Amino acid sequence: MWQLQWMISLIPDSVLIWIINIMLIVGVVGTLAGFFIKFIPFVNQYKLPVQILSIIILIAGVYFKGGYSTEMAWRERVRIAEEKVKEAEAKAAKTNVQIQTKIVEKIKEVKDTQVVIQEKIVKEKEFIDKDCRVPEVAIDIHNDAAKNRKPENKQ
Amino acid sequence: MKKLLLLIPTLLLTGCLTSVPVKRTFPDIPEELKIACPELKEATKNTQELSKLLDVVVVNYSTYYECRVKVDAWIEWHKRQKEIFESSQ
């Protein structure tokens, strides 16, 4: 079935709608004519083939008309959906740039503060170290906390 | 014959079948958010100077704040992307 739809998709839309409309008109006219053909002499012998052919053309016309209308309605919905997606992608990219800038600025602020504090430690080093010697156990506790591990019991 | 006639509307309805693929890509994240938070620093063993220990503590606090910036950014990223996603439905 998709092969048929693919082949139909190759025909331009304007040409396709004309073909479908002609099929419908021929189908309707042929079907109605099938009822009156019996009154026309000589031609009335073709009544049955005309009726069958007209009904087949009418059914095919209705089928393609339905398919075409649905296809057009979906294409419009797809176009709107694609536009929305495109817009959302642009907004998402813009948001990312804003967040990226914010992160860089805030991290720079953190690093700058760290440098200032470290300079302060260097400046006050003598005063800090003057009366205090850090025991080894304090270093161990600090390192355990930094690595999130439970302290070992040393005697 | 009646069963055969039932085929006609069935066939007609298949004309209305269609599939609509609209491709949607997952939004990318800022490069900084792809980097994991670093491990905290350990102080050098046998250090007796408080200033050296303090220095390590300062670095670790900075690492925490750096990481907090990233977590806050993740929360903001998710909130804003969700808003964009929902507005485009």
pTM: 0.68
What is the count of structural domains for chain B? 1
Q: Is residue B35 part of a domain?
A: no
List CB contacts (< 8 A) between B80 and chain A.
Answer: 95, 99
Token readout for B12 is 């007609």
Its domain, for residue B67, covers: 49-89
Determine contact: A120 vs chain B, CB below 8 A: no
Contact B63, A111 (CB under 8 A): no
| A104: pLDDT strictly greater than 90 | yes
Q: B86 in a domain, yes or no?
A: yes
* A88 Cβ contact list (under 8 Å, min separation 6): B84, B85, B87, B88
Q: Quick one: pLDDT at residue A41?
A: 81
pLDDT given at position B11? 60
Asked whether residue B44 is domain-assigned, the answer is: no
Query: Is this complex scored with an ipTM above 0.90?
Result: no
Alpha helices in B1-89 (DSSP H): 2-14, 50-87
Q: Is A64 on the interface with B (CB under 8 A)?
A: yes
**DSSP reduced 3-state for B49:** strand
Mean pLDDT on A42-67: 88
Report pLDDT for A62. 92
Residue A116 forms contact with B (CB below 8 Å): no
Name the pLDDT band for A20 (thresholds 50, 70, 90).
Answer: very high
Q: Which residues of chain B have pLDDT under 50?
A: none
| Domain presence at residue B38 | no
Helix (H, G, I), strand (E, B) or coil at A149: coil
The answer to whether residue A1 scores a pLDDT higher than 70 is no
Q: Is residue B9 part of a domain?
A: no
Residues of chain B with C-beta less than 8 angstroms from the C-beta of A93? 27-28
Calculate how close chain A gets to B33, using CA atoms only, in Å. 9
A92·B84 Cβ contact <8 A:
yes
What is the average per-residue pLDDT within A58-75? 89
DSSP codes, A51-110: HHHHHHHHHHHHHHHHHHHHHHHHHHHHHHHHHHHHHHHHHHHHHHHHHHHHHHHHHHHH
Please report which confidence band the pLDDT of residue A28 belongs to, taking 50, 70 and 90 as the band edges: very high
